[in-house]
Structure 1
Amino acid sequence: MNQTPLPVTVISGFTGAAKSALLDRLLANDDGKRIGVIGFGSPEVPDEARDLPNGCRRVTLPDHSIEAIEQAIVALADERRFDAIAIEAPAMLDPMAIAEQLAFGDDDDATLAGRARLDTFVTVIDAPHFLRDYASTETLEGGGDGKTIVEALVEQIEFCDVVIIDESDDTQKISRMIRAMNPRAHQLVAANGDVPLDDVLDTGRFDFDTTASAPGWLAILNDETPAPEDDAASEIGHLVYRARRPFHPERLWNLLHQEWPGVLRAKGFFWLATRGEVGGSLSQAGGTLRHGPAGVWWAAQDRSEWPTDDPELEAEIVAEWFGDADDNSVGDRRQKLVLIGENLDADAWQSRFDACLLDR
């Protein structure tokens, strides 16, 4: 197939976040760009395609699956008359899952190879309701897997290239919060999605590894945190908690079931005294905190199971190893947690986690 792959923009956001308004503006553009927009309707209504006088097309799908999105992209690309494609992603779909599943790339066998390429992930923020949604513990309607509203919101913020914030009295505060969660994302403030087309179409901003590495907590772990842009931004701080002793399970349980005032985001893994083989994962956002198994520590595995053909991973194991190379009592077991919050008292949180450690 000999054609230039169409740039695809994926637009995430909740209902009321000016997401639909942005798509309407793309469809109504008078810049001569022919844009195919893929949106979603009721499962009871069949597929619908509506052509507009300016050469744009709106496609409405009853099926909210990523497979349906892929098929719609293929149909638009094969017509070879559009300049770009924009997808109105359902709120329950994780943007990273969309990027992982859609077969973009250089693989000649991929369905979309040569037809389309992921170009920009955009998240539209409903500023008037953002603080309420971020503090919510409610389950996302239609999520099906118990995902909460704030978890979906964080997925959209952390995996994106461009953030559009609707205007409100809290816009500046929201902007600082989002910058702490995704310092890489290009931010725009606009009423009703009124942004230049060049800021959301064919921007060339998307790269899977770069976008996936954008979350603020990950940047902090990698010592890539940018300096605050103003005094107000400096009110959002962070803590990286590290320790080489296991947590006492009851003490940690008690801490995890307390209120965490001011903490916007926490992420990492931990070592429990009663779980010497398996590490634990922790993820907190707003009013939701989850924990569970993260995987088996290398120190708990036979050396014959260690990687021998991945120098980078081998070097990582050595760098994180505690004690002698043949001493598996600690090895790579450790506490490694990142907290991001408003006016975060790092010393107080350090003491709280220290108090959860097993006595010497």
Structure 2
Amino acid sequence: MTDSRPRVTVLAGFSPAATDAVAHSLLVTDPTLILVAHDLTGVRDGVVRRTVRTSDQVLEDDSTELVHGCVSCTLREDVIPTLVRLSRRHPGSDLLLALPPAVEPEAVAAAYAMSGADAVRLDSFVTVVEAAGLLDDLTSTDGLRDRDRHAAANDDRAVADVVSRQVEFADTIVVWSSPEIDVLERDRLTALLHRLAPWAAHVRIGDSPMVDCTALAARLLRTSRHDPAVPGMLGRALEGYPIGIHDPAGEHSVNAMLFHSRRPFHPRRLHDVLDDLTSETLRGRGHLWIATQPDAAIGWESSGSGLRLGNLGRWLASLPRERWGEASDMRRLAADANWDPYYGDRTTALSFVGLDLDVEAMTATLRRCLLTDAEIADGADGWHALPDPFAGFFPADSEPEPAAVSRGAAS
């Protein structure tokens, strides 16, 4: 059956100018398309400004007071209800949701899923990046607070974290370039984005002064690229989805690597090399396990020389079989397909992207952090006696929390 619900295209990006330019380029191609934008300048005081418009008229320009000024409550209390209300008031119009710089697209998908709303369908997530500033943002050690972009008093996210997540979650990436961009710099940026988000469609505009708005709309609107079944970035490998590519040679100085291991990490040896691992890479993501805490799947997320480690929940091997129903179907299928008679579904899967990354050295460093044959032979009783700088950070029965340990710029 044909799904006749209005489609929502979500536009994210850290450069408001580039995101707005793409949004207005799309508006002029369809007089029925409705743009929804939120200004979070006053969100820390509990006030959000909402603008709703078509290509030729402003439909709404209101300010909303929220009980708790934050991104999550803005999504829950205003953004999702606005999309639902507009879909009912304008049933023949598709919607374009332009997110403020501090909002991550995955948060929108999660808020929509939790809302239970079914009046609209999320058609695609498009991230717009400005060519001139992307690499600086990905390597920056600034926090959102340093740029006055933080969305709440306790918003300690780093610029590199937010930009990386915006790129990774996208199913379509638009590079807003300019004729003045050096060709070699442009090619390096293209190589970087393809390694950060190899699953996304990539579009570049702005190489000439004129933008073909009709061609752009054909590539961005009504594509049905969003798959709500695909989990967030930190949970993808657990459910069998790819988290990156292995490309040691790379191109234009950009390369990438994957690291897999069944053996657990020695917690002390891993802890001692965290700074080395994060300083050598632009982006790291995935999950791991350590010998002293064999029940916990631990998420890894690094960018801008900062690192966040967090609890992703329990390994299925640590649960009685009757509790496996708590996991998703894809999680159980991935566990069954790769089950190890000794380790169960416990595994490490890490992806790194860098500039001239020494893949052999990185791989050797990670392998030195794994348990040795002698340590493996000691068994679980011996593992529990190992020194553990992470002790207490990942309680197996706690709710998954993707930011339990922070280091560097993300701390």
TM-score after normalising by structure 2: 0.69
Distance in 2, matches of 1:56 and 1:241, equals: 52
Helix, strand or coil: the match of 2:221? coil
Q: CA deviation at 1:35?
A: 2.0
For 2:307, give the aligned amino acid.
L
Q: Is the 8 A contact 1:35 1:56 kept in 2?
A: no
Q: Is the 8 A contact 2:14 2:102 kept in 1?
A: no
Partner of 1:327: none
Q: In the TM superposition, what are the counterparts of 1:279-318 in structure 2 within 5 Å?
A: 279-302=297-320, 305-307=323-325, 316-318=334-336
For 2:191, give the aligned amino acid.
R
Helix, strand or coil: the match of 1:263? coil
Partner of 1:344: 357
Q: CA deviation at 1:201?
A: 2.1
Deviations 1:219-258 (A, max 9, x none): 9x75797898x973695231323142x3222211111022
Q: Is the 8 A contact 1:240 1:336 kept in 2?
A: yes
Equivalent residue in structure 1 for 2:109, among 72, 80, 99: 99
Equivalent residue in structure 1 for 2:271, among 240, 243, 253: 253
Q: 1:10 to 1:308 in 2, by over 3 A?
A: closer
Q: 1:135 to 1:4 in 2, by over 3 A?
A: same
Deviations 1:134-174 (A, max 9, x none): 01122222244322111111211111122111213333212
Q: CA deviation at 1:17?
A: 4.7
Partner of 1:25: 25
Q: In the TM superposition, what are the counterparts of 1:1-360 in structure 2 within 5 Å?
A: 4-27=4-27, 29=28, 31-41=29-39, 42-43=41-42, 54=56, 57=59, 59=61, 62=64, 65-67=74-76, 68-80=78-90, 83-102=93-112, 110-113=116-119, 116-140=120-144, 141-144=149-152, 145-167=155-177, 168-169=181-182, 170-191=185-206, 194=211, 195=213, 196-209=216-229, 212=231, 232=251, 235-244=254-263, 246-258=264-276, 260-302=278-320, 305-307=323-325, 316-323=334-341, 330-359=343-372, 360=374
Q: Is the 8 A contact 2:243 2:351 kept in 1?
A: no
Q: CA deviation at 1:95?
A: 0.9
Q: Is the 8 A contact 1:124 1:165 kept in 2?
A: yes
Q: CA deviation at 1:81?
A: 6.7
Q: Is the 8 A contact 1:150 1:286 kept in 2?
A: yes
Q: If each structure's helix is expressed as a fraction of its own residues, which one has the higher value?
A: 2
Distance in 1, matches of 2:55 and 2:340, equals: 67
Distance in 2, matches of 1:319 and 1:32, equals: 46
Distance in 2, matches of 1:344 and 1:126, equals: 24
For 1:66, give the aligned amino acid.
L
How many residue pairs match? The answer is 340
Q: 1:199 to 1:251 in 2, by over 3 A?
A: same
Helix, strand or coil: the match of 2:261? strand
Helix, strand or coil: the match of 2:132? helix
Q: Is the 8 A contact 1:36 1:56 kept in 2?
A: no
Q: Is the 8 A contact 2:258 2:349 kept in 1?
A: no
Gapped runs of 5+ residues in structure 2? 66-70, 375-411
Q: Is the 8 A contact 2:49 2:62 kept in 1?
A: yes
C-alpha RMSD of the superposition: 3.8
Distance in 2, matches of 1:117 and 1:58, equals: 22
Q: CA deviation at 1:130?
A: 0.8
Q: CA deviation at 1:339?
A: 2.5
Q: 1:293 to 1:165 in 2, by over 3 A?
A: same
